[in-house]
Amino acid sequence: MPIALHLLGRVDYSPIVTAMQEFTATRLPEAPDQLWICEHPPVFTQGLAGKAAHLLMPGDIPVVQTNRGGQVTYHGPGQIVAYPLIDMQRAGYYVKEFVYRLEESVIKTLACFNVTGHRVAGAPGIYVRLDDPGSHALLPQRPMKENSGSEPFRCAAGSDPNIPDFTGLGKIAALGIKVSRHCTYHGLALNVAMDLEPYARINPCGYAGLRSVDLSTIGVSVSWQEAAELLGQKLLIYLAP
């Protein structure tokens, strides 16, 4: 059953969250999966585990408590926000694979602009090298499978995976999901061409000093619409059963 793609344009954050919750709570087993893609007016969103200390000086930007995973992040014009509403039980994958598929969709989208997206052990999301965004060189802090099987992933450099290393990196895409009755909502955000100043008002995703970047910052000129359509197509491919 194909995923229905909806490009919603710019919409307020809270009504979208309410609509996702209602869709997920009432969907029937035969209901087709959906993918909503939009952008939001400026808003800080605080996840279930969010700590007030990571909100440094929100100022005139509203802060919304939400039920996704993770800490505080920022949404604003020039950012693509994708909300996959997926029945994982029907699709045949679990949460870790779902997250992997989301990240892979972003990585493949960035590759179309000659940008290499990277994963960092212990820190969901996608990162780019600030000195050379197109570099394919593997990060020492990338996730690696353990041979012992006792821990599914370790940091390739052997450091503590609970303390991610962001040296030389900027975060270009953030993830925060919720799963209810095997069905997903919330999702991911990819920075295209934004006012990045609001990120200085928070510790993004709970990490002090983590730099947030967008495609424009690293030299890629692309419209929101073009990038949104491309990310949507990659998500349709990588979230398929």
**Residue-wise pLDDT tens for the chain (241 aa)?**
899 999 999 999 999 999 999 999 999 999 999 999 999 999 999 999 899 999 999 999 999 999 999 999 999 999 999 999 999 999 999 999 999 999 999 999 999 999 999 999 999 999 999 999 999 999 999 998 754 443 333 333 334 556 899 999 999 999 999 999 999 999 999 999 999 999 999 999 999 999 999 999 999 999 999 999 999 999 999 999 9
Looking at the 3D structure of the chain, how many domains does it have? 1
Q: Residue 56's domain spans which residues?
A: 4-134+167-238
**Does some domain include residue 162?**
no
Residue the block writes with tokens 């990162």: 127
**Does some domain include residue 183?**
yes
Q: Kind of pairing, strands 34-39 and 43-46?
A: unpaired
Distances (CA, A) of 158 to 7, 17, 137, 142, 165: 42, 39, 18, 10, 11
pLDDT at 149: 41
**Does some domain include residue 208?**
yes
CATH number for the domain that contains residue 99: 3.30.930.10
**Does some domain include residue 146?**
no
Q: List active site positions.
A: 205
Q: Cβ contacts of residue 91 below 8 Å, gap of 6+?
A: 33, 239, 240, 241
